Amino acid sequence: MEYAIILFAATYVLMLTFTKFRTLIALVSALLFIISGMLPTGQIFASIDFNVLLMIAGTMGLVTLFIDSKAPALLADIVMFKVPNVQMAAVALALFAGIISAFIDNVATVLMIAPVALEICKKLKTNPVPFIIGIAVSSNLQGAATLVGDTTAIMLGSYANMSFLDFFWYQGKPSIFFAVELGAIFSVFILAYLFRHDKAAIEKNSDKTVVTDFVPSVLLLLTIVFLIIASFIPNKPAITNGMICVFLFIIGLIHTCIKNKKLSASIAPIKSIDFETIGLLLGLFIIIGGITNMGVIDAVASLLSKVSGGNVFLLYTVIVWVSVLISAFIDNIPYVATLLPVVTGLANTLGIDPTILYFGLLSGATLGGNCTPIGASANITGIGILRKEGYNVKNSDFFRIGIPFTLAAIIPAYIYFWVIYA
């Protein structure tokens, strides 16, 4: 287990240090986990979340068609017409992303909203880096608001037999949705403060961009609808969401070829898929599979039970803040999957209702990803989009927004759960 910890730590230090080579570092590390036997070959495919990879590929392709249709430019015109300055434009886009992310995957949200932000920044001739980071962290925040907002929320709902409505009202009390929204309110003030110097007025222009093709917009809306519907289907295949995105992308390609009357029209959207980001996520999935197989996550879970010493408040506090810390560096899916039964066992031992521990785990694990640029798939995706546009995102650029945003969101939620469910 020691070698797994050393390799894992070295990988993340290198990725944080050499940001331009993150994909290569992750893939080489993943290969070392496999060659060393820390991840048996029989567990490689089980470690990879193909659903996420397919969803990213399909949505990226759809977003390219969406951009080509001029729809993001129209949305940019509308936002710019409604808000008074650059500061409020950044806040409005982050809020908009958060609303969408409460119902569909965070990565898909970033892929949908980022083009709108890029269009606005191009027209205002301003740096899009803080805009995209704001969209990514807001998407991660709202992922825990509903049963369908994030994979970890779906995992909790399934494990605790919670319905869609239980995320709004549970055991006769306001549920996790309101804790997330409380955090969102505080985070809005943080974003407004971080963009306080961007008070340049936005020129109002009554002329709006003309959308050339509404089919991509319809396909994106169908993506949202189908993802929500799929969340209610029991025992569905693990790659359902990914197949939905890929299927709708294929429809978009067929439509594009028919519209342009040539097969080559499909090449550009396929090339637009950010295979570097997909490669990075592929490597990370294998790495997490390796440390999970070597018992690292189980050891962390065991440590949590020993540290608390039977004090419920201390146990709750440890679960929340350790989850924040761990999820800042590793994928929260295997972590949450491992901790759910541990939390249940701890609650049974102490003779308490596990709800407060469940919600503390979910909020901490979800929001912790906002602390670092590699803590969540949405962050990686947003940075990948910026990289394709020629912008190199420094760690300091991300920390400046991600860390205060995380604290503003998690502290109110942390207090809220204890007051309501303790």
Region 182-190: what's the mean pLDDT?
89
Residue written as token pair 């962050």: 379
Max mean pLDDT among 28-32, 98-102, 343-347, 365-369 falls in 28-32
pLDDT bin (cut points 50, 70, 90) of residue 34 is very high
Residue 207 has pLDDT above 90, yes or no: no
Residue 116: HSE in the Cβ half-sphere, 13 Å Cα cutoff: 23
Query: Quick one: pLDDT at residue 133?
Result: 93
More reliable by pLDDT, 398 or 303: 398
**Using 50, 70 and 90 to split pLDDT, how confident is the model at 419?**
very high
pLDDT of 301 over the 70 cut:
no
Cα 21 from Cα 8, distance rounded (Å): 16
- State the CB neighbour count (10 A cutoff) for residue 349: 10
Least confident of 77-91, 299-313, 371-385: 299-313
Per-residue confidence band for 54, with pLDDT thresholds at 50, 70 and 90:
confident
Is 27 part of any domain?
no
Q: What single letter denotes the amino acid at residue 394?
A: K
Show the domain range for 57.
45-421
pLDDT in the model for residue 155: 78
What is the spatial distance between Cα 261 and Cα 222, in angstroms, rounded to a whole number? 25
pLDDT in tens, 319-352: 899 899 988 887 677 678 777 877 887 788 778 8
In-domain check, residue 228: yes
Count of domains in the chain? 1
Distance of CA 312 to the CA centre of its chain: 30
Q: What is the pLDDT of residue 147?
A: 79
Is 21 within a domain?
Answer: no
For the entire predicted model, the pTM comes to 0.73
User: DSSP string of 371-398?
Assistant: GSTTSSHHHHHHHHHHHHTT----HHHH
Collapse the DSSP code of 162 into the 3-class scheme (helix H, G, I; strand E, B; otherwise coil) and give the result: coil
Q: Write the pLDDT tens digit of every residue in 145-162.
A: 887 777 788 778 878 878
Round the average pLDDT of the chain to a whole number and report it: 85
What is the structure's pLDDT at 32? 94
pLDDT band at 205 (very low <50, low <70, confident <90, very high): low
Give CA–CA dist 392/229, Å, rounded. 37
Is it the case that residue 117 has pLDDT exceeding 80? yes
Residues sharing a CB contact under 8 Å with residue 124, sequence separation 6 or more, in sequence order = 80, 86, 89, 200, 202
Any idea which of 272-281, 365-374, 403-412 has the lowest mean pLDDT? Answer: 272-281
Average pLDDT estimate for 7-29: 86
Residue 253 falls inside a structural domain: yes
Q: DSSP code of 101? A: H
Does the CA dihedral 33-35-36-40 come out positive or negative? positive
Reading the block at residue 206, the tokens are 């009554």
Q: Is 159 exposed, middle or buried (0-12, 13-18, 19+ CB in 10 A)?
A: middle
**pLDDT, position 304:** 67
Give the list of residues 6+ apart from residue 206 with CB closer than 8 angstroms, or none.
Answer: none
The pLDDT value recorded for residue 218 is 92
Confidence of residue 233 (pLDDT cuts 50, 70, 90): confident
Strand (E) positions, 98-243?
169-170, 173-174
Quote the CA–CA distance of 35 and 160 in Å, as a whole number. 37
Answer whether residue 29 is part of any domain.
Answer: no
pLDDT the model gives residue 334 = 67
pLDDT value, residue 38: 93
The model's confidence at residue 399, banded by pLDDT at 50, 70 and 90, is very high
% of the chain with per-residue pLDDT over 70: 97
Identify which of 81, 112, 117, 83 has the alpha carbon closest to the alpha carbon of residue 99: 112
Can you tell me the distance from the alpha carbon of 148 to that of 105, in angstroms, rounded to the nearest whole number? 8
- Range in 89-103, 112-126, 255-269, 303-317 the model is least confident about: 303-317
Is residue 83 in some structural domain? yes
Q: Is the pLDDT of residue 77 over 80?
A: no
**Cα 132 from Cα 61, distance rounded (Å):** 19
d(CA 84, CA 86): 7
Confidence at residue 36, expressed as pLDDT on a 0 to 100 scale: 92
Map residue 173 onto helix, strand or coil: strand
Domain presence at residue 242: yes
In the numeric block, which tokens belong to residue 49?
């979340």
Tell whether the model's pLDDT for residue 206 goes beyond 70: no
Q: Which residue has the higher pLDDT, 136 or 338?
A: 136
| 310-343 core/surface letters (b: 16 or more CB in 10 A; e: else) | eebeebbbbbbebbbebbbbbbbbbbbebbbebb
pLDDT of residue 22: 83
pLDDT-derived band at 250 (thresholds 50, 70, 90) equals very high
Does 39 reside within a domain? no
Tell me if residue 201 falls in helix, strand or coil: strand
Three-class SS of residue 170? strand
